Structure 1
């Protein structure tokens, strides 16, 4: 374990141009990339989970799917600087969070977060965010960022409870012309 922790520190402190791949640390007990909490199992997403992620999007976005199969596949399978964590109950995926490493490996950007409407209010989204924050802090990242619709005050509240603060307004950010709010969380001083 000490050797793995040394490898982790050496690889990610300065990022040294190496590609980020959290899949190589699946066995790392300190980070809890896979664990159970209050009947919910959290783990890294695999390609087979994409159909479930699309179903969650349809449910949360009232029939729309902002991300296509190809978008998810790229981030989960092909992009070594991105990954998703899923939450599952009784073997069924009920929520997910995605992230991408930016700025030469120093920052992490939350790409999306969704939980089936029937499972909202059970702390699943909060736990997904907490797990991602812990992982990024342990990997030596400086900042986490995300954008959220300006009219989505519920999501903004969730992010604020996790320590994110509003940084700036992104006018007409979304395809429908809606504004976004850019939020930031400092991970280390």
Structure 2
């Protein structure tokens, strides 16, 4: 009798956890003001991938990820969240984040803002959205990699509380540039969200 109750209890807990994850990972598309400008923020769709690749090309000069990689990521709705930002129906930014429930870690997989919209607060806005989701999912750490040469992004991440860690040698495909690993302790945000 006790074993049946124990099994029922564990199954119930797992179901509640799955429901919590599904609820948190849901994202309602919205019109948002960022630094006084109006943008449309949406959950990324497969149909957004060509524009996402264009943004990558404008920002990085190449596309580090291909259509297949983005397609696989966007389809993983239980442990990935990809958001796009549009201005007048033009995709001007996107961000992706993976959530590891076993490690209690969120990882910014990609973030890019087209050059003419950089320094408008869009990157910060997207990271904050991901941070809120991570806190709701009880993640303890958020991590990301940033090019050693991208000092503007490093400055933004430091202002947001990310701390620099180890350098990952030859990290980026193509030019083999090093990456700086950065991490944010999310525990200090819990209770403030």
Q: Give the TM-score normalised by structure 1.
A: 0.80
Structure 1 runs of 4+ off > 6 angstroms?
none
Out of 29, 33, 36, the residue aligned to residue 32 of structure 2 is 36
Tell me, in whole angstroms, the C-alpha distance in 1 between the residues paired with 2:113 and 2:48.
14
The counterpart of 1:11, out of the listed 2, 6, 17, is: 17
Structure with larger Rg = 2
User: Which consecutive unaligned segments of at least 5 residues does structure 2 have?
Assistant: 1-12, 189-193
Pair 24,182 (structure 1): closer, same or farther in 2 beyond 3 Å: closer
Question: Would you say how many aligned residue pairs link Structure 1 and Structure 2?
Answer: 170
Q: Report the Cα distance in structure 2 between the residues aligned to 1:180 and 1:155, rounded to whole angstroms.
A: 12
Pair 1:78–1:102, CA change in 2 (3 A): closer
Aligned counterpart, 2:60:
61
The Cα of 1:102 is off from its aligned counterpart by 2.3
Per-residue deviation, 1:25: 2.6
Tell me the equivalent position of 2:50: 51
Instruction: Give the root-mean-square deviation of aligned CA atoms.
Output: 2.4
| Post-superposition CA distance 1:10-45 (Å, at most 9, x none) | 527xxxxx8955686335xxxxx6441230122211
The match for 2:9 is none
Query: Is the 8 Å Cα contact of residues 22 and 83 (structure 1) preserved in structure 2?
Result: no
Asked if the contact 2:55–2:113 (Cα under 8 Å) also holds between the matched residues in 1, the reply is yes
Q: In structure 2, how many angstroms separate the alpha carbons of the residues matched to 1:23 and 1:70?
A: 26
Can you give the 5+ residue segments of structure 1 that lack an aligned partner in the other structure? Answer: 1-6, 13-17, 28-32
CA 1:84/1:20 → structure 2, altered by over 3 Å: closer, same or farther? same
Distance in structure 1 (CA, Å) of the matches to 2:31 and 2:185: 25
Larger RCO (alpha carbons 8 Å, 6+ apart):
1
How far residue 114 of structure 1 moved from its aligned partner, in angstroms, is 0.3
Mapped contact 1:57–1:114 kept (Cα < 8 A)? yes
Deviation at 1:77?
1.5
CA distance in 1, matches of 2:123, 2:178: 23
